[in-house]
């Protein structure tokens, strides 16, 4: 795993930090025990949070401010944690995708930080988080072309592949995926990321047979 944050992005967003977990996994279409855990957390969220409170959480407020600092409208380009939380509180639940993506969404909703998971065999080893360039876009998962200009964007030698808003089809996790990189984005600094590194690794091990787990925090 060789992942870095570009100096230009770090200057614009000094607090941006990344929690990274690499693992060898077995991906299942569904995992009943995992979904029970997710359902319990969704019930907790709907019982304790009102929709008008969403933007008051420090993690979500910091991400929205970061997008504004980069020149992106956070109400149009929402971070994935905010988008997931809004969906849950609107009573729409979550899509059941596969065991790894479902874990990604659970960690995002628990931490209230955006999270993304990528198939390591579909990307090159050198990955950089940088600012999306003018005119850049990619085909989003289940979406049309996404305008990633001015977003924090992961890129490898072949180009951009993911962002805190929506990831590309190119690096998506499928049932054939064997090696993954899961990343939690923090816009409030690294101080709370240790617990999410541990949590992501624990869930991948428990529900996806995760092995060869490597973790790091990038600042």
pLDDT at 144: 84
pLDDT at 152: 98
pLDDT by position in tens, the chain (length 219): 689 999 999 999 999 999 999 999 999 999 999 999 999 999 999 999 999 999 999 999 999 999 999 999 999 999 999 999 999 999 999 999 999 999 999 999 999 999 999 999 999 989 999 999 999 999 999 888 999 999 999 999 999 999 999 999 999 999 999 999 999 999 999 998 999 999 999 999 999 999 999 999 999
User: Tokens 């929506």 appear where?
Assistant: 166
How far out from the chain centre does Cα 112 lie? 10
What confidence score (pLDDT) does residue 217 get?
96
CA–CA distance from 183 to each of 22, 75, 81, 164, 202 (Å)?
9, 23, 13, 9, 14
Identify the pLDDT of residue 11.
98
Structural domains in the chain, CATH included, are 2-218 (3.50.40.10)
SS3 category, 175: coil
Q: What was the pLDDT predicted at 149?
A: 97
Q: What is the pLDDT of residue 125?
A: 85
pLDDT for residue 143: 83
Residue whose entry in the numeric block shows the structure tokens 């869930």: 203
Rounded to whole angstroms, the maximal C-alpha distance in the chain is 45
């Amino acid at each position: 795993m060789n992942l870095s944050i570009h100096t230009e992005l770090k200057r614009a967003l000094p607090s941006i930090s990344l929690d990274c977990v690499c693992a060898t996994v077995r991906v299942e279409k569904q995992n009943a025990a995992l979904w029970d855990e997710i359902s319990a957390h969704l019930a907790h969220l709907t019982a304790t949070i009102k929709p008008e409170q969403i933007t008051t959480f420090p993690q979500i407020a910091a991400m929205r401010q970061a997008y504004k600092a980069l020149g992106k409208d956070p109400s149009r380009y929402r971070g994935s944690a905010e988008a997931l939380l809004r969906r849950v509180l609107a009573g729409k639940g979550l899509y059941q995708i596969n065991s790894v993506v479902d874990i990604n969404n659970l960690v995002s909703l628990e931490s209230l930080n955006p999270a993304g998971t990528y198939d390591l065999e579909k990307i090159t080893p050198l990955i950089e988080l940088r600012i999306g360039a003018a005119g850049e876009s990619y085909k989003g998962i289940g979406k049309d072309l996404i305008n990633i200009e001015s977003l924090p964007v992961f890129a490898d030698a072949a180009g951009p592949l993911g962002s805190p808003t929506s990831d590309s089809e190119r690096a998506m996790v499928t049932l054939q995926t064997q090696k993954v990189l899961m990343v939690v984005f923090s816009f409030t600094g690294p101080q709370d990321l240790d617990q999410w590194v541990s949590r992501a690794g624990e869930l991948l091990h428990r529900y996806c047979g995760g092995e060869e787990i490597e973790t790091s925090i990038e600042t």
